[in-house]
Structure 1
Amino acid sequence: MPKFDQVLHVRLGSLKEAVTDWGQTYDKLVKLQEKAENGLQVKADKADWEGENAGVTRPFVKKTAKEFGDAAKVADSIRNILRDALAEFKSAKESLEKLIEEAPGKGIRIDPDGVVSYLIHPDRRSKNYNGPKPDQADFDAMRSAIKAAIDKANDADDVASRALRTVVGTDENNFSGTDYDNLKEASKAQDAEDAKEAAKIVKKGDDATPAEIDKLNKYLKDNKGDPYFAERFALEVGPKGSLEYWADMGVPGDGPSRLGIDHRDKLAELQKNWSLTLAAATHSTSPEMEQWKADVIKAGSDPIQSRGAHPYGFQVMSNLMRVGDYDDKFLRNYGNALVVAEDKITHGGSQPPGRAWYQPQQAHLNWIGGGAGQDPMSGFMEALGHNPKASTEFFNSDIDLTPENGKDDKKLNAFDYFSKDRDWPEELNDKGRMSKEPGYDSLGHALESATTGHAYDAPAEGLKDVRTAENAEVMQKVVEYYGSEPKHMHEQPGIDDSLGKMGSAYIDEFNRSLEQENETSKQEMPDSPFGFNDEKGHSRFGGKFDNELLWSRADTLGFLGTVTQSETGHAQLSAAQTVYTTSVMDEVAPKPGSGAARELDLTDAKTTLRIGAETHAIFDQSRMGQIDEDYTKDSDEHKKAVGRTTEWVKFGVGAAAAGGVAALTGGAGGALVPLATETVGGAVVTFLGMEADDIAEKYEEDELLKKKSDDLKDEALGTGKENALMPGQAYARAPGWSKEDANYLEEELTKYVKDSRGHVRDDSLPDPYKPSKK
């Protein structure tokens, strides 16, 4: 693979000469071909030969004439391949040269090996420095552009080298006659060839060796993201072929299924690569692929016969869509058909889904974590988790349970069914225990994508806030249901982290709701500093929400109070709230140095800090209440749980902020937090640069276990209060204030925050969850 310096300094003169030389060679061979065909071959055909001359000489002359034509095709193909490769290499080289030229103007340095860094590091800038100050988004964009240029050269190099070997052929006595008009055509031919060879391995079934499975994996991996290869592979194997093969792989015995015993990692890799390949294939709208998609759905209700088990097609296919972005329409049609099938085999819900999907001889269909794959809804939820558009539409839809009957109106609400009504079956989880966690974890992933507009596992860095009215519609359902009773979250193991991420993505709207003192009102407070509106004051969620809230204060208290009963939810939302509050301070508080602090209007700043302080109090009280319920007072488990309640600060300090969002990438898991300002300024930067106390050391286990729970709780709540002060401290310490102003602001705002936390005592927070006694 060409490296940065090789692409940048590549000399293309020889390649350009080769293109010219092969063009001239082609012209000469065409003339020789014409002479051979119009002269030599014509005369041989007209000759009145008998005996050996007729049987040997004439075919020899004919074959020789053909060889001139084949030679011309080969020369033309080589010229075309080299010509297009030259263009690609030149384009990649010019792209890198342009990036190097533009980098200093952005405050970025590109080293000889392609490493990106500051042109002048912040620590070495003079006090009067007014040059460009690149942020993380600038560095990410530069690295991405460099990678794109190198990848372009690498792709051209791979396709051209393979195409040239094909053109030359392996027969020393004959020209191959291969004819390529361009590099793209050569690439498609290579894709078709790879797909055919990969399909041959699949069709071997039990006769395939582990080495051949490795080869199959390589074909799928090397062509990852190539839509033409994906389509050819899907069609070569066929809908039933994929289902039957994968079913066989999960049945204990000989053949490829032995991989599950001896080489689980190979099966996990194969499942991921196969899933990515089929996902790419579903985006094709060719008649053949449209039929393939219809046939896969049609086969969903049929048992797939393997060596021993006979799982339904839906059970198999759902495990082949756990990874990758499947086509929107295909997912909608597949999901609707899957729900209809479940309704039928459960006899309208009278039988639990787990029993209905149960097979006497179980096939192990999922190797990448998240259950053994018996419940097809789990894999389908994972597919929705990777396609936000399809997921959003699905959870905002009603599913026709009798599509064959146009007269009745038997429908099922998708959100209600999966979140409220469905009895999710237990599966073997990744810890080796039977649990409903795999299903609810997958449901959470699907809801994350439906509410945030991003795939649930998309790298948080570089993402933008893309929430729409349709996303918010799903989030309203989430808040209404999971905030109505704590048991809805607690009795769905594995969903709390997803609820925390969803809450983080809507932290701005929750702040708007908490500003309203009336618990049932949905009227936005006038001149609110919260929420994101465009320049004309319009909400991203539609005109209705310009002045109306997505949720009442009571709705918000119910949801946030429930989610932060969970340790993970508490950590995620605490970090999100602090980062968001800091960004609002950047947006609405007087700019540092804009006047004497004592004379500035701090109304919006104080409102921002008051709501932030109240929100942290909700979080802390909810978590402490649940700890008291879960663990015996003064037990080691109780003390350790209390000791962990303030560690969220590490996640906030580790956040990366740019372009109107912050990415929490610390121990709380990746979460996206909307910011109140597109330009990340003084307070946010100051906050993210602050060093957090090493809380792990503060609560050393030996010392922690010596204390009484009540004392430890008081100390932890005190630390939580101190941590909630950080947005105000970041504002007061931002560059621009005099020492006197900074001291005044820190004292004034600190007092205000501490007083505000007590306001939550008047709120009705959800009671801690108590498991029902069976």
Structure 2
Amino acid sequence: MYQVDLGPLKSTVSEWGTMESRLGEAASEAHSGMLRKANRARWSGVNADVTRPFIKAVADEITDAHVESRDLHDKLSAAYKALKSIQDDLQMKVDDARRKGIEISDGKDGQILCKYPPQPGHQNEVISEKRRKALKSLAEDLTGLVKRANEQDSYTAGILAKIHGNDPHNFGKNGPIDKYEAKQALRITKKGTDASTKEIRELAEILKYNKDNPAFSHTFFKGLGGPKETLEYYARMSIDGTGAPGKSRLDAVQDLQRYLGPTLATATDPDHKGYLNWGPQFRRLGTKEIDIEGIGFKPQGYQLLGGILRHGHYDKSFLTPIAEHVVQLQHDHPKGYWNTPSGPDMQFGFDPNGKKNSGYDPLTSVLEALGHSPEASEAFFSKDPTETPVTAYDENGKVDPNKTIGYRYLEELTSKDFHWNNDGSSPVKGERLMSGKDAMGHALESASIGTPYDHPSANGASEHTTPRASIVNRLIESVDNNPDFVSRDISDSMGKIAGEYMPEFNKALAEADGKSDGTLFSTEHSISFNSKASVRFLDALGRHPEGHAEATLGAQQYQAQRMHTVVQNPGEFPGSTEENLRDIARNGGTVEGILGSARHDAEISGGQEREKEFNEEVEQRGEMVKKIIGVPLDAVAERVPVGGELVSGVSEQIVDSIVESHQKNTSQEDADNAATVSFDTRKEAGEWAQQAVRSSGYSSGVDPEVVARNIAQEVAGGYDHGEQLRENGFDNKARRPSE
């Protein structure tokens, strides 16, 4: 895979593109020229009975040839793009590893081996745990890439062999390949749970490689019968997988769920001609009980649909009304609305891929769907009845003109009174599984950042539009009113949002400081975050290891980028470059002061084990940042969970310094109390800033040592100021949130 020359495949794609174009012209000429003349001719006898049908058959055969050439071109083109992307990613990872002295080789059963070759005199040296983890991670990444390449190769070879139907005298015998594949997929669905595990894997593979194909998706879901039949089929298959003994069947059904959703997203997308306008029917079925034989209770439509919606990027016209209806039902029935099995549930419900939840709560599912659909989530969280009337739905999902919605969904879901259902079917005693809040965090990420929460943006940057910034501003105000909303389930998402919106947070804190007017921290909109609410928001997320790690790395990344900008473009900012660097450093220190003191409070109650959790989260996310530095973002399978923009300008040395300082804290014998860690963090914040300014470069004629010393002093002053801001953010009556 590393060495294979994909040039011939690229040339073949080009040649088939030319062939398709020419056959398209020939087919057009055959029908508009030859066949039209034959139909107009006043023939009789043999010419009418034989020649005219023969001419039509020839014209149709040329059209079939065009269809077949188009299918060949499409499949080869898709294969080339996929294999080239995989190869680019693999070559980059391998080359980078080899520069670091790592030896890579093929192992058994498709596994790839990575190791550091023994150095003379160090043959018996034991490799460090950190290096061992890095080698294991690299080997898994490379093995996964080769596996993806093999899957793509196998699928393409198989489908190319079926395109012409094994008849050398009849073009396109199977018809257009997408419709042929839809027929093959429907053949398996008709067997239901009687389909073999191998057949379910085959079905999942067909969906995987055709999920973005409108013609396939329309034919497939029409073939299933309609919305109700789609829900019934999914219900039977999900229970068949989650209730099956052994892992093989479950794995196959997990793949089926993983690709059924994206296929539905394509089928219901109004951007495609002939799309399926199934939204109103799904809403009508949402509260209806669906009788599924053999599962012991009657689930409602939304419980089944939710399992499908968890995967796929849906159009807002389809998904947003469904999300609104589900939240309205939850608002009207806060104590529960959805059917669940009576007694312990030995199965895992309607979410085969779920780890903490059963899938019985559709609110969790639609929030997860919003997390993958940024346009829909932005529209959902932007709803404001004080500005524009919000559509109200009755129990059956129909628009109810006599009903009024007087609340905003963002505030509804973040209020103290909102009841989050426990979506675990049989939770451990004393444990509260809050997968709904985790999904809520994902939905907020996609709405505020503008990309699916688990995928990076195409160019590594996110546009901070007025609607998105308004959502974050309202989120900050909601957390200010209800700090306990930021629990561990959602803190990582809150940290990512904070990391992404560091320009706005820095601007708010600079204006509150009085030493700067905030012009250094420009934004693309006119939304201003409230300073006190911003402090309390950072305090709430800083108390949790995941949120603290995300926000810390996001803050340091932004500080480094901002310093680089003012050094490289001094004429764009008022004041001298050194003054601007000092202001940035002070503001960065203020952010760290808030986050560090919040962590300090959390560690007082948790001790050294709690401190270890904080440090492990920073290490994990730091390694993820370094992993994608310089990597083409479209080659990253999932969005790396790190706050802020994912750009190659982040210095690996800066990330290393942050991670190393946290590792040092954990290993120090005297770092067994929060005070020591807090003091170290104050010092290390200055070191991070000095590293950032060194990476940015110095203006000519300045003394680097003086600049570095000044930067450290500004960070220290900012850190103290941040601690004070945080103290001032709470009065004697407003107590801080507890775990």
TM-score strictly above 0.5: yes
Q: Aligned partners of 1:27 and 1:668: how far apart in 2?
A: 52
Aligned partner of residue 165 in structure 1, secondary structure? coil
Q: Which residue of 1 aligns with 2:340?
A: 358
Aligned-partner residue type, residue 710 of structure 2: E
Q: Which residue of 1 aligns with 2:120?
A: none
* CA deviation after TM superposition for structure 1 residue 304, in Å: 0.9
Q: Which residue of 1 aligns with 2:392?
A: 400
The correspondence for 2:421, drawn from 425, 430, 448, is 425
* CA deviation after TM superposition for structure 1 residue 669, in Å: 2.1
Aligned-partner residue type, residue 352 of structure 1: K
Per the alignment, do residues 462 and 259 of structure 1 end up closer, same or farther by CA in structure 2, a change over 3 Å counting?
farther
Structure 2 residue 564 is matched with structure 1 residue 605? no
Per the alignment, do residues 387 and 116 of structure 1 end up closer, same or farther by CA in structure 2, a change over 3 Å counting?
same
Could you say what the CA RMSD is over the residues aligned between the two structures, in angstroms?
Answer: 5.3
User: Unaligned stretches of 5+ in structure 2?
Assistant: 101-148, 384-389
Structure 2 residue 704 is matched with structure 1 residue 746? no
For the Cα contact (< 8 Å) 1:576–1:652, is it kept in 2? no
Aligned-partner residue type, residue 239 of structure 1: P
Aligned-partner residue type, residue 693 of structure 2: Y
Aligned partner of residue 428 in structure 1, secondary structure? coil
Aligned-partner residue type, residue 612 of structure 1: G
* CA deviation after TM superposition for structure 1 residue 589, in Å: 4.5
Alignment of 1:605-624 (within 5 A): 605-624=581-600
The correspondence for 2:564, drawn from 545, 566, 586, is 586
Aligned-partner residue type, residue 352 of structure 2: W
* Residues 305-340 of structure 1: per-residue CA shift (max 9 Å, x gap): 111331001110011010111121111222233334
For the Cα contact (< 8 Å) 1:506–1:674, is it kept in 2? no
Per the alignment, do residues 526 and 294 of structure 1 end up closer, same or farther by CA in structure 2, a change over 3 Å counting?
same
Aligned partner of residue 394 in structure 1, secondary structure? helix
Count of residues in correspondence between the two structures: 649
Q: Which residue of 1 aligns with 2:450?
A: 453
Larger mean CA deviation between 221-230 and 747-756 belongs to 747-756
For the Cα contact (< 8 Å) 1:321–1:383, is it kept in 2? yes
The correspondence for 1:637, drawn from 596, 609, 612, is 609
Structure 2 residue 505 is matched with structure 1 residue 510? yes
* Residues 534-592 of structure 1: per-residue CA shift (max 9 Å, x gap): xxxxxx32xxx2xxx62222111110111101111111111111111122222234879
For the Cα contact (< 8 Å) 2:320–2:380, is it kept in 1? yes
Q: Which residue of 2 aligns with 1:169?
A: 167
Q: Aligned partners of 1:579 and 1:248: how far apart in 2?
A: 48
Alignment of 1:275-314 (within 5 A): 275-284=261-270, 289-308=275-294, 309-314=297-302
The correspondence for 2:602, drawn from 615, 626, 629, is 626
For the Cα contact (< 8 Å) 2:500–2:645, is it kept in 1? yes
For the Cα contact (< 8 Å) 1:500–1:572, is it kept in 2? yes
Per the alignment, do residues 745 and 234 of structure 1 end up closer, same or farther by CA in structure 2, a change over 3 Å counting?
same
Q: Which residue of 2 aligns with 1:770?
A: 738
* CA deviation after TM superposition for structure 1 residue 500, in Å: 0.7
Per the alignment, do residues 576 and 80 of structure 1 end up closer, same or farther by CA in structure 2, a change over 3 Å counting?
closer
Aligned-partner residue type, residue 481 of structure 1: S
Q: Aligned partners of 2:433 and 2:282: how far apart in 1?
A: 27
The correspondence for 1:531, drawn from 500, 518, 522, is 522
For the Cα contact (< 8 Å) 2:266–2:314, is it kept in 1? yes
The correspondence for 2:230, drawn from 222, 228, 242, is 242
Q: Aligned partners of 1:336 and 1:178: how far apart in 2?
A: 45
Per the alignment, do residues 419 and 399 of structure 1 end up closer, same or farther by CA in structure 2, a change over 3 Å counting?
farther
Per the alignment, do residues 65 and 163 of structure 1 end up closer, same or farther by CA in structure 2, a change over 3 Å counting?
farther
Per the alignment, do residues 204 and 670 of structure 1 end up closer, same or farther by CA in structure 2, a change over 3 Å counting?
same
Q: Which residue of 1 aligns with 2:366?
A: 380
For the Cα contact (< 8 Å) 2:197–2:248, is it kept in 1? no
* Residues 49-81 of structure 1: per-residue CA shift (max 9 Å, x gap): xxxxxxxxxxxxx89996786466436643775
Q: Aligned partners of 1:743 and 1:453: how far apart in 2?
A: 41
Aligned partner of residue 496 in structure 1, secondary structure? helix
Q: Which residue of 2 aligns with 1:227?
A: 214
Per the alignment, do residues 708 and 454 of structure 1 end up closer, same or farther by CA in structure 2, a change over 3 Å counting?
closer
Q: Which residue of 2 aligns with 1:321?
A: 309
* CA deviation after TM superposition for structure 1 residue 426, in Å: 1.0
* CA deviation after TM superposition for structure 1 residue 194, in Å: 1.9
Aligned partner of residue 381 in structure 1, secondary structure? helix
Aligned-partner residue type, residue 392 of structure 2: D
What TM-score do the two structures reach when normalised by structure 2?
Answer: 0.73
* Residues 476-515 of structure 1: per-residue CA shift (max 9 Å, x gap): 221012233432223xx41111111111111111111111
Q: Which residue of 2 aligns with 1:107?
A: none
Per the alignment, do residues 591 and 656 of structure 1 end up closer, same or farther by CA in structure 2, a change over 3 Å counting?
farther
* Residues 160-187 of structure 1: per-residue CA shift (max 9 Å, x gap): 9457623x638xxxx547599xxxxx6x
For the Cα contact (< 8 Å) 1:26–1:75, is it kept in 2? no
Q: Aligned partners of 2:391 and 2:19: how far apart in 1?
A: 64
User: Unaligned stretches of 5+ in structure 1?
Assistant: 46-61, 100-109, 124-149, 181-185, 533-539
Aligned-partner residue type, residue 672 of structure 1: G
Identity of counterpart residues, as a percentage? 21
Aligned partner of residue 364 in structure 2, secondary structure? helix
For the Cα contact (< 8 Å) 1:332–1:394, is it kept in 2? yes
* CA deviation after TM superposition for structure 1 residue 722, in Å: 2.0
* CA deviation after TM superposition for structure 1 residue 16, in Å: 8.3
